[in-house]
Amino acid sequence: MKSKWLVYAKKADFKAIEQKYGIDQVIARIMRNRDVCTDEEMQMYLNGSIDGLHAPELLKDAQKAVDILTEKIAQHKKIRIIGDYDIDGICSITILYKALKKAGADVDYVVPHRITDGYGINEHLIDNAAAEGKDTILTCDNGIAAIPQIQYAKEHGLTVIVTDHHDIPFTEENGEKKLLTSCADAIVDPKQPDCEYPFDKICGAVVAYKVMQILYEKLGLDKTDFKEYTELAAIATVGDVVDLKDENRVIVRQGLAWIATTKNTGLRALIDKSGISEAPSAFHLGYVLGPRINACGRVGEASLGNKLLCSRDDFQAGQLADKLNEFNAQRKEIEAYVLLSAIEMLEGTPQEYPIAFAAGKDWHQGVVGIVAGKLKERYNVPAFVMSIEPDEVKGSARSVPGVDLGALIIAAKEKGLLTKGGGHTMAAGFSLSEDKIEAFRRFAGEYVRQKLGEEDVAPVIEVDSALDLLGANTDFAAALELLEPFGAGNAEPKIVLEHVRIVKPGIVGAGHVRCFLTSGNGGSLKAMAFKIADTELGKTLLNSQGAVFDIAGVLRRDNWQGRNSVQFIIDDAIRCE
């Protein structure tokens, strides 16, 4: 499918910004493209610090939750943390567990098993907590939609505190949405409509982090512990793919700086076992460390992630890190099988709706989310992937701009098509009975068609700036690093190199195309396009025959083996007429 290039042209006095903040005008333009406009936003983007994060007390019920926790600690009541089995849940649990231990709490944690428990708090986990004499359940990265489960816990005499970041569930009456809420003793979720917190796009670990800030302040505890908690919040923020905007960007940037010299024994072991030999970047969090932490919840035992991050013994931490590496290797094999099966299913059948919708009986439910993401990238439509189990069907979905999956899933639940479900705008999880699969397919298909229309949705490449080839140098690549960390909501800047020729193209490695770019103004730039040799783009590059192109991609410094040069990573090419 042909890509569309969206060239940003947002207006601002870039010369004045350059003079005030001491940054290149192109860098100022890229920041403006990311809607960084006001002086406050500029300062946070360029110079934000942990001390300047939003006040945690603005989170509705955060102070109330801390008051309950401190009372329970003083009364020596038993507290149980119930999280989620993904990277955000694992990091959330670790922050709460370590912080409450420092506060003197009698606290433990339970990580639900993906297959036997499913997502979040359930009656089985509540029964276990009550039978083991627990007084209080503290949820993290789940709980906002567990209305009947929390009612069940209250009926059994348990105190329940919810910390979550997911959308508030709702029902529709006479065409109007009515938000639903549980009877929990305290609910901390920035998505609550009467919450005054100024930024609601934070992950579950950051919600937990904020609540523990209030606890530490109230009890006068040593705040240097938050160096480690910031590292964990950074990992969760990148791993849960929330936007690297506002305070999320600050947390990740500072967290990465501290991770480079982390004192967390388990995290240090995982870095070593993963073969990372440089200061970790957001890339390492998202594509090296994150998948390993996630893998234990996908194909292994989720609690191993917490055991690793809570370990103080080098030998034990090394063994656990090895285990996570093994789980990650298993996950890759399982994922490859399910992805290939889903592609064969989709491409072997005419598709009625602008969605990728696939289900299989031998598909491991631990990888359906990853496969949904890959299908979304391959076809550029919302993807729904399901594992058909003997008792129920468990699925995961990933979206494209214009389709709010959280709203879709809630609406499907209201129609009785799903038994469970929830999530974000771009990602969601759900459960249903096997006999509802076809009805859900039609519902999801019609919902997406209404949102996107009938025309094919072409991938969009958002271009930040055009650049002459001579300007693509080491100084400019170094200036771009000011904008790091890159990720969701703060993408690596896309640059267009205008009127260049492709020289010496050739295939290297596993279908990569390597070449050089030249222009009439002089100069030559090494370029690479990954895994595209058999695509339309790959064929265009390999058969360019001296034609002139505009090339879109990203400019990076190349420091391999002590080099001080740059290379261009190609995303797309348009032949100039």
Whether residue 182 contacts residue 159, with contact meaning beta carbons closer than 8 Å, is answered with no
Residue 65 CB partners (closer than 8 Å, separation 6+): 161, 163, 186, 188, 211
pLDDT at 455: 65
Helix, strand, coil % in the chain, rounded to nearest 5:
45, 20, 35
pLDDT at 2: 65
Token output for 227? 């160096």
Strand partners, 497: 467, 551
Pairing state of beta strands 565-575 and 548-558? antiparallel
Token output for 359? 């289900």
- By C-alpha distance, which of 130, 85, 134 is closest to 105? 134
Across the range 195-201, mean pLDDT stands at: 96
Whether residue 398 contacts residue 383, with contact meaning beta carbons closer than 8 Å, is answered with yes
The predicted-structure confidence for 428-483, as pLDDT tens digits, reads as follows 999 999 999 999 999 999 999 999 886 666 778 889 989 889 999 999 999 999 99
Tell me the pLDDT band of 4, cut-offs 50, 70 and 90: confident
Token output for 245? 């905007």
The predicted-structure confidence for 508-550, as pLDDT tens digits, reads as follows 998 999 999 999 888 899 999 998 998 889 999 999 988 999 9
Q: Measure the CA–CA gap between 380 and 377, rounded to whole angstroms.
A: 5
- By C-alpha distance, which of 133, 128, 167 is closest to 149? 128
More confident residue, 165 or 458: 165
Given a cut of 80, is residue 203 above it in pLDDT? Answer: yes
CA distances from 204 to 108, 221, 232, 493 (A): 18, 22, 11, 28
The predicted-structure confidence for 342-359, as pLDDT tens digits, reads as follows 999 999 888 899 999 999
The predicted-structure confidence for 180-194, as pLDDT tens digits, reads as follows 889 999 999 999 999
Whether residue 110 contacts residue 81, with contact meaning beta carbons closer than 8 Å, is answered with yes
Given a cut of 60, is residue 1 above it in pLDDT? Answer: no
What percentage of the chain has pLDDT greater than the value 70? 98
pLDDT at 226: 97
In three-state form (DSSP H/G/I as H, E/B as E, the rest C), the secondary structure along 235-296 is HHHHHCCCCCCHHHHHHHHHHHHHHCCCCCHHHHHHHHHCCCCCCCCHHHHHHHHHHHHHHH
pLDDT at 359: 97
**For all residues of the chain together, what is the average pLDDT?**
93
Residue position matching structure tokens 């302040």: 217
Element counts in the chain: helices (H) and strands (E): 20, 20
Whether residue 526 contacts residue 516, with contact meaning beta carbons closer than 8 Å, is answered with yes
Q: How far apart are the first and last CA of the chain?
A: 20
> What one-letter code names the amino acid at 533?
A
pLDDT at 454: 65
- By C-alpha distance, which of 203, 206, 245 is closest to 229? 206
What percentage of the chain has pLDDT greater than the value 90? 78
The predicted-structure confidence for 53-75, as pLDDT tens digits, reads as follows 999 999 999 999 999 999 999 99
Given a cut of 80, is residue 290 above it in pLDDT? Answer: yes
Element (H, E) at 93: helix 87-102
The predicted-structure confidence for 315-328, as pLDDT tens digits, reads as follows 999 999 999 999 99
The predicted-structure confidence for 95-134, as pLDDT tens digits, reads as follows 999 999 999 999 999 999 887 888 889 999 999 999 999 9
Q: Measure the CA–CA gap between 188 and 202, rounded to whole angstroms.
A: 12
Tell me the pLDDT band of 142, cut-offs 50, 70 and 90: very high
206-215, 354-363, 378-387, 417-426: segment of lowest average pLDDT: 417-426
pLDDT at 511: 92
The predicted-structure confidence for 364-377, as pLDDT tens digits, reads as follows 988 999 999 999 98
Q: Measure the CA–CA gap between 457 and 436, rounded to whole angstroms.
A: 27
Pairing state of beta strands 495-508 and 465-467? parallel
* H runs (alpha helix) in 156-203: none
Kindly tell me the sign of the dihedral angle through the C-alpha atoms of 250, 374, 351, 433: negative
Calculated CA dihedral for residues 225, 230, 236, 237, nearest 10 degrees: 160
Given a cut of 80, is residue 173 above it in pLDDT? Answer: no
pLDDT at 456: 62
Residue 570 CB partners (closer than 8 Å, separation 6+): 513, 527, 528, 529, 537, 541, 551, 552, 553
